[in-house]
Structure 1
Amino acid sequence: MMYTTLLHQYQLVLSARGALLNYCETIRPEHLAQPIPSFNNDSMGSLMRHVANTYLGWLLNFLQQEQRPYFTEDNHKNLQAIRSMFEQVNLVANDFLLHHKDDMTTPLSLPREGEEALSITPLQLFTHTITHEFHHKGQLAIMSRQLGYIPVDTDVIRD
């Protein structure tokens, strides 16, 4: 039951992300790559790469102890590359949910280099990654506004 609920929740995330990516089609490619001083000179593309890498880091590399290379600057040079990056993220998220579908609430002990192990549930990790994405989605709207665009509604519930 929780597995099905989380799959539905991720579909809502995909819908909101799709609205953001469709909006990004209206943004000039050079603006997607433009460093923005008020955001530590990150660009919209590099922030989207950070979001994608967070999914890889928590749901794949950290939790399942697989070591998949993180996305690099080449993965956010244009919107097609960004979309491709998130298609890979979707596979990771779906695999994660399937892998933990029978038990999302038992804490796992996750080793951390030079620190005490972290005790966290798969549900907490999944929730962290999607709320992290939504946090940065808001920042992406602000970044685009600073570049002269008028952001569209990219929330889960929108007109």
Structure 2
Amino acid sequence: MRSEWLNWCETLSEAELLAPQVGGVGSIAKTMLHIIDVEWSWIRRIQGQSDEEYQLGSEDSLEQIIQLNHRYHNEVKAFVDAWEPEWEKRLYDDGHPPFDRWGEIMRHLIAHEIHHIGQLSVWARQLGYEPISANVIGRNLLEK
């Protein structure tokens, strides 16, 4: 679904992509980047790896956001593909409460993306565009 949204973003003008929006993290571009960055950051943190928040600069283009998504996605996919059932209850302890289980964090990542997809859908309609369907039925996700 994220790839579909990124493809959809390619149909927007730069002004539409960067225009301030009510809610979210500021703009369509910043929201897409936020979705990508939060997923990657959490996956790295629960594995005990460092993460650095990517800041959208004025020189960044949608193409750079798409490339970042591809780069981060490879790392996230490798982690998800390697998922073991016992990781579900593994405790994430970074020294600062609350201490959540890995399974809870993974569910949070799913809810986080769905939340922002809802915002993108509203903004798309406000701009006069048809949003990408959030429906997971018929996407054959278990076969991908």
Question: Would the TM-score normalized by the shorter structure come out above 0.5?
Answer: yes
Aligned residues: 139
Stretch of structure 1 that moved more, 44-53 or 69-78: 69-78
* Greater per-residue strand proportion: 1
TM-superposed CA distance for 1:154, in Å, is: 4.3
Deviation per CA, 1:46-77: give whole Å up to 9, x if none. Answer: 011111121122111x2122113222213993
C-alpha contact (below 8 Å) 1:55/1:129 kept by paired residues: yes
- 1:135 equivalent in alignment to 2:115: yes
- 1:113-132 aligned at under 5 Å gives the runs 115-120=96-101, 122-132=102-112
Q: Which runs of 4+ in 1 moved over 3 A?
A: 74-77
What is the Cα-based RMSD across aligned positions, in Å? 2.6
Cα 1:110–1:75 shift into 2, 3 Å: farther
Paired with 2:83 and 2:25, the residues of 1 have a C-alpha distance of 37
- 1:33 equivalent in alignment to 2:13: no
1:6 match: none
Paired with 1:90 and 1:64, the residues of 2 have a C-alpha distance of 16
> Structure 2: which 5+ residue stretches go unaligned?
140-144
2:56 match: 73
TM-score, normalisation: structure 1: 0.72
Identity, % of aligned positions: 24
Residue identity in the other structure for 2:20: P
1:93 match: 76
1:8 match: none
Higher relative contact order (CA 8 A, sep 6+): 1
C-alpha contact (below 8 Å) 1:49/1:82 kept by paired residues: yes
TM-score, normalisation: structure 2: 0.79
Paired with 1:123 and 1:76, the residues of 2 have a C-alpha distance of 37
C-alpha contact (below 8 Å) 1:20/1:154 kept by paired residues: no
Paired with 1:85 and 1:131, the residues of 2 have a C-alpha distance of 21
> Structure 1: which 5+ residue stretches go unaligned?
1-15
Cα 1:47–1:90 shift into 2, 3 Å: same
- 1:29-68 aligned at under 5 Å gives the runs 29-36=14-21, 38-39=22-23, 42-60=26-44, 62-68=45-51
Cα 1:89–1:51 shift into 2, 3 Å: same
C-alpha contact (below 8 Å) 1:32/1:45 kept by paired residues: yes
2:142 match: none
Residue identity in the other structure for 1:74: G
C-alpha contact (below 8 Å) 1:35/1:42 kept by paired residues: yes
